[in-house]
Amino acid sequence: MRAFVEVNLKAIANNIALVRSKTPSQILAVVKADAYGHGLVPVAKCAVDSGANWLGVALLEEALTLRESGIKAPIISWLTPPSSDFKLAIQSNIDLSIPSLKHLELIVAASKAVGQRARVHIEIDTGMTRGGLLGEWEEFLIAIKGADVEVIGFWSHFARADEPGQIANQNQLNEFESKLAQLQEIGINPKYIHFANSAATLTNPISHKDIVRLGISMYGLTPDINTLGSSIDLDLEPVMTLKAELQLVKRVPAGSAVGYGATEKTARDTKLAIVAMGYADGIPRSTSNKAGVFVGGAKAPIIGRVSMDQFVVDLGPDSNAQTGDIAEVFGVFGYSVDDWASAAGTINYEIVTRIAARVPRIYA
C-alpha cells in the first residue's frame, strides 16, 4: 500500500476514559472535519461506545452522515449558514446552534414547517469575537422568550484556554455567567451548559459545567505543546500513525543535488529513499529539509523539497532500508505529529486534519 493511516480506536477509548476520570460532566466528542482526519463514522461510533454522551460537528452534512450511519446519540451542529436545510436537521433530531437573530428566525420557521420543535443551543460570544451572539443580545432575549423552540443548551468557546494563567479565561467565564443569568431571568433555563474545550477540560475544572467538549485531546494530542506539554505529559495516547512505502532506495554520491530547485545537496556518499507521499496527500511543503521519517530502525531526515506526490529522505550510507519498506512518517517511534507541526510552523490540529482522503484509513 502506497500510504495509509492507522487509527487506534483503543486509544480513543483510553483518552475518553482518562477525561471521564477527571470530571463528572457529560462528554461531547468533537468529530468535525472527518473526526480531525481520523474518519467520521468509525470514530463517532467508537466514541459513543466508549462513553461519550454527545457528538459535536461543525457542518450539518456531517451530522446527517452520522444519522444515516445509524448513530442515535445526541448530535449538535454549530456552523450552519442561513442556506442550511434546517427542516431536514430538525426532522433528523439534530441539535442546532443559534448564534444570531437570523438563525433563530430561520429555525423557528423551519420548525413550524415540519411540525416539530427544534432543539437549540444558544451560542454567546464571550470574548472569542468569532461565533455567537454579541450586539444583538438584548433584542435576542425578547425574541427567544416567545420562540417555539426547545432550548437544550447554552454555550460559548474559549479563546485562550491553552494558556491557563490568562485572565481572559476568567473574564470569559464571568461574561458567560452574566448572560446565562439574564436568560434565566426571563424564564429560560437551558438543560445543558457547556463551555470547556480540550484545554479547559484538562486544566480548568470550574469551566466544566454540564458538558465538556473533547476535540484534540480525544485524538491523543496536546492542545498546545508549549503551554501544556506533550501528549505524554498529559497522559494522552496519540491515535493516528501515518505510514508510507519507500518507492525507491538508491545510492548517490556526495554533492548530488536533490529535488526541485536543487535546494539541498548530499553532504556525503549516502542512500536516499523516495517516500510515496507528497503535499497532495497532506504533507506540508513547508517541511522541506525539516522533518523526516522513521525506517530501518532509524530517523531519516527530508532532503530537498516536498513534491506533490513524493519526498526524499537521507537514509545514511549504512542504512539497511530497502525499496518497498514501510516508513513511519509520524507515530510513536520516530517523528511525532508535534514534530511535524513544528517543522511546518503550524499546530498538530492542522497536520492530522490535512491528511488527504486518498490516503486510506485502517482501524484497529
What does the pLDDT read at residue 211?
Answer: 98
What does the pLDDT read at residue 191?
Answer: 98
Backbone angles phi, psi at 361, to 5 degrees: -100, 135
pLDDT digits (tens, 9 = 90+) for 55-67: 999 999 999 999 9
Backbone angles phi, psi at 235, to 5 degrees: 65, 30
Closest by Cα among 168, 139, 138, 144 to 156: 168
What does the pLDDT read at residue 291?
Answer: 97
What does the pLDDT read at residue 339?
Answer: 98
The alpha helices in 233-332, defined as continuous H runs, are none
What does the pLDDT read at residue 32?
Answer: 98
pLDDT digits (tens, 9 = 90+) for 63-81: 999 999 999 999 999 999 9
State mean pLDDT over 206-235. 98
Q: 3-state class of 224 per DSSP?
A: coil
The residue from 145, 260, 265, 363 that is catalytic is 260
What does the pLDDT read at residue 345?
Answer: 98
Considering the entire predicted model, what is its pTM?
Answer: 0.97
| Fold observed for domain 9-228 | TIM Barrel (3.20.20)
Beta strands, E only, 264-333: 264-265, 270-275, 292-295, 298-301, 311-314, 326-330
Q: How confident is the model at residue 336 (pLDDT cuts 50, 70, 90)?
A: very high
The residue from 32, 45, 209, 243 that is catalytic is 32
45 noted as active-site residue: no
Contact between 295 and 326 (Cβ < 8 Å): yes
Distance separating alpha carbons of residues 64 and 72, to the nearest angstrom:
11
Residue-averaged pLDDT of the chain: 98
Q: Which residues of 162-172 are buried (b: 16+ CB within 10 A; e: fewer)?
A: bbeeeebbeeb
pLDDT digits (tens, 9 = 90+) for 274-325: 999 999 999 999 999 999 999 999 999 999 999 999 999 999 999 999 999 9
pLDDT digits (tens, 9 = 90+) for 251-263: 999 999 999 999 9
Q: What does CATH list as the number for 240-363?
A: 2.40.37.10
72 noted as active-site residue: no
What does the pLDDT read at residue 214?
Answer: 98
Q: How confident is the model at residue 220 (pLDDT cuts 50, 70, 90)?
A: very high
Distance of CA 80 to the CA centre of its chain: 18
What does the pLDDT read at residue 100?
Answer: 98
- Domain ranges in the chain are 9-228, 240-363
What does the pLDDT read at residue 213?
Answer: 98
pLDDT digits (tens, 9 = 90+) for 131-180: 999 999 999 999 999 999 999 999 999 999 999 999 999 999 999 999 99
Closest by Cα among 217, 190, 232, 223 to 22: 217
What does the pLDDT read at residue 34?
Answer: 98
